[in-house]
């Protein structure tokens, strides 16, 4: 084949023992068509966008060709799904093509998702529909632009093949880029098999790749656990600060590198309500907005269990170490959340009452059915000009007096800081996005693509979300929540 220039694969996971994965190539598809290439990301990865967009490049992105240097594998993992342990899950519809080292020297997985069945597919077809593929593309890129650690989307291709879900849908393949695809569930896979040697190899792989500082620590595996706890605590705080609901925080969707991964039924909240759930399969609200920190902690406890044989020879001692490490989660999470809420409120200094001030605003938002994103954004305008207070107040239509009670407390707090209104507004606008992937906008973009092969709305939405903090008058409508008559929004698992 013609060489695919600029694909400098440098694989490390495929060098691990064979029981870590299954070796297999993607299953070719009938008629690959590139519908989106993330050129900026390609360049950061040291890849040549033109080569990727060429006929050979698209064949690779569709899984029809295996590029030189690629060692395609489907990764083995287990996981707790909604609290129930499944000893074998694995990449049922994804194949890791290989790793590249990006321009910043960071190793990145290049994975195809929707690339055909694997030995881990169970009853699934190994495929993905164009809607969920574009959904992951939109939301993961939006998260990246918001500054939240996340897997990225490099490309989307349609396959020219129908797949069957509730009805017939166009098939597609997403090229996903991740710091790695190691999950809590990867450790659980080996722990469930009492394969301590594999656990050690996996832990060493992860330390070398993500947490090299742990290698220097007196107890490297404890340091690894604490580092993962720190990243997950920070991650989940960032989710809450932008109103993101992951929707399916199973341990197999909990990244050891601390990135948001697996955009299935995720969605952003409009009106602030801590009990918000979008996913149709989350009947109990296990993964509701405000439950996410508790679930992250629970997932990390499952991770700690897998590390017990590595933490100490004596099992009581190992348990004590794990529990001590797990105990650091709360302070880290609360610290990250409080710091983030201060930034959202435009506070430059720290006072003991700040958390309560933030919480009381959130409570008022719940009572008022106020839009989470717009409340903080408009509050930035109010910081510079009290004439804008009315714009914020209008968002609390259901109960504006709860905002009226809160507002003077915030003003008193601001008065104890020297910053002027303009610099406060600038700081608040840098912390509070104006544009998030509003559910109705995402749905419109997906429907146009899936039903009419019209990618215009998808492209425009991506352009809006690429600069979420920068107000652009031509995109004013994208800042608005769904019209009230749209009803309750539901998401479905990304299959």
User: What are the catalytic residues?
Assistant: 252
The listed partner (ligand AMP, Mg ion, none) that binds 80, CB under 5 to 8 Å by sort, is none
Residue 92 touches ligand AMP, criterion: CB under 6 A = yes
Among 58, 156, 233, 248, interactor with ligand AMP by CB under 6 A:
248
131 forms beta bridges with: none
Residue with tokens 């939405």: 461
Stretch that binds Mg ion, among 3-11, 94-102, 255-263, 449-457 (CB under 5 A): 255-263
Binders of ligand AMP in range 10-69 (CB under 6 A): none
* Min CB(255)–ligand AMP separation in Å: 12
Interacting stretch for ligand AMP, rule CB under 6 A, among 124-132, 346-354, 471-479, 484-492?
124-132
CB-wise, 139 or 464, nearer to Mg ion? 139
Q: Is 93 in the site for ligand AMP (CB under 6 A)?
A: yes
Which tokens sit at 160?
């020219």
Q: Does 262 bind Mg ion (CB under 5 A)?
A: yes
131 binds ligand AMP (CB under 6 A): no
Q: How far is the CB of 125 from ligand AMP (least distance, A)?
A: 5
Dihedral through CA 364, CA 365, CA 368, CA 372, nearest 10? 170
Nearest residue to 220 via CA among 243, 240, 200, 241: 200
Q: Which does 494 bind (CB under 5 to 8 A by kind): Mg ion, ligand AMP, none?
A: ligand AMP
Q: What are phi and psi of 349, to 5 degrees?
A: -110, 175
Say whether residue 265 binds ligand AMP (CB under 6 A).
no
Interacting residue with ligand AMP among 12, 27, 54, 121 (CB under 6 A): 121
Segment near ligand AMP (CB under 6 A); pick from 120-128, 394-402, 434-442, 455-463: 120-128
C-beta nearest to Mg ion: residue: 262
Residue (of 293, 200, 282, 280) closest to 240 by Cα position: 293
**Residue 170 contacts which entry, ligand AMP, Mg ion, none (Cβ below 5-8 A, type-dependent):** none
Is the distance from CB of 133 to CB of 114 less than 8 angstroms?
yes
- What burial letters (b/e) apply to 92-103, b meaning 16+ CB within 10 Å? bbbbbbbbbebe
- Applying the rule CB under 6 A, the residues between 141 and 200 that interact with ligand AMP are none
Place of tokens 């109990």: 284
Among 253, 373, 432, 491, binds Mg ion (CB under 5 A): 253
| Residues 296-335, interacting with ligand AMP (CB under 6 A) | none
- Rounded Cα distance, 106 and 495, in Å: 30
Of 84-92, 132-140, 375-383, 428-436, the segment contacting ligand AMP by CB under 6 A is 84-92
The nearer residue to ligand AMP, 12 or 495, going by C-beta atoms, is: 495
Judged by CB under 6 A, the stretch of 119-127, 336-344, 421-429, 463-471 that binds ligand AMP is: 119-127
Euclidean distance between CA atoms 184 and 192, whole angstroms: 12
Between 89 and 271, CB nearer to ligand AMP: 89
Name the site residues for ligand AMP (rule: CB under 6 A).
89-93, 120-121, 124-127, 248, 252-253, 262, 264, 493-495
Name the site residues for Mg ion (rule: CB under 5 A).
253, 262
């Amino acid at each position: 084949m013609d060489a695919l220039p600029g694909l400098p694969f440098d694989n490390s996971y495929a060098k691990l023992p064979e029981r870590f994965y299954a070796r297999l190539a993607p299953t070719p598809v009938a008629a690959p068509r590139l519908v989106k290439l993330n050129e900026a990301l390609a360049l950061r990865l040291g890849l040549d966008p033109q080569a990727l967009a060429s006929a050979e490049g698209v064949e690779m992105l569709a899984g029809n060709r295996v590029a030189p240097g690629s060692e395609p594998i489907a990764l083995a993992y287990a996981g707790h799904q909604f609290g129930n342990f499944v000893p074998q899950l694995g990449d049922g519809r994804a194949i890791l093509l290989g790793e590249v080292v990006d321009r910043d020297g960071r190793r990145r997985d290049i994975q195809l998702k929707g690339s055909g069945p694997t030995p881990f597919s169970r009853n699934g077809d190994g495929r993905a529909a164009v809607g969920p593929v574009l959904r992951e593309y939109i939301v993961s890129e939006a998260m990246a632009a918001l500054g939240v650690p996340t897997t990225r989307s490099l490309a989307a291709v349609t396959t020219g093949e129908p797949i069957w879900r509730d009805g017939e849908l166009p098939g597609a393949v997403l090229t996903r880029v991740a710091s790695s695809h190691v999950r809590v569930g990867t450790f659980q896979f080996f722990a469930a098999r009492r394969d301590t040697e594999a656990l050690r190899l996996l832990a060493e792989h992860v330390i070398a790749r993500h947490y090299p500082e742990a290698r220097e620590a007196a107890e490297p595996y404890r340091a690894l656990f604490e580092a993962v706890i720190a990243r997950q605590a920070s991650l989940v705080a960032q989710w809450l600060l932008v109103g993101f609901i992951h929707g399916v925080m199973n341990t197999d969707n909990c990244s050891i590198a601390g990135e948001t991964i697996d955009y299935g039924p995720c969605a952003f909240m409009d009106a602030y309500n801590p009990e918000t759930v979008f996913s149709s399969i989350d009947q109990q609200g296990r993964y509701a907005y405000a439950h996410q920190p508790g679930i992250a902690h629970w997932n990390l406890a499952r991770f700690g269990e897998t590390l017990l044989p590595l933490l100490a020879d004596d099992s009581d001692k190992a348990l004590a170490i794990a529990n001590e490490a797990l105990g650091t989660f709360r302070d880290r999470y609360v610290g990250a959340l409080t710091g983030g809420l201060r930034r959202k409120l435009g506070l430059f200094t720290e006072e003991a009452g700040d958390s309560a001030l933030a919480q009381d605003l959130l409570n008022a938002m719940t009572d008022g059915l106020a839009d989470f994103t717009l409340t903080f954004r408009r509050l930035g305008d109010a910081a510079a000009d009290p004439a804008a207070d009315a714009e914020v107040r209008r968002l609390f239509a259901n109960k504006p007096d709860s905002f009226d009670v809160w507002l003077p407390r915030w003003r008193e707090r601001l008065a104890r800081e020297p910053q002027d209104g303009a610099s406060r507004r600038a700081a608040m606008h840098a912390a509070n996005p104006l544009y998030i992937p509003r559910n109705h906008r995402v749905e419109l973009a997906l429907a146009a693509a899936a039903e009419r092969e019209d990618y215009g709305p998808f492209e425009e939405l991506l352009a809006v979300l690429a600069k979420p903090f920068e107000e652009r008058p031509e995109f004013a409508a994208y800042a608005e929540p769904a019209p009230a008559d749209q009803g309750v929004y539901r998401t479905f698992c990304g299959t």
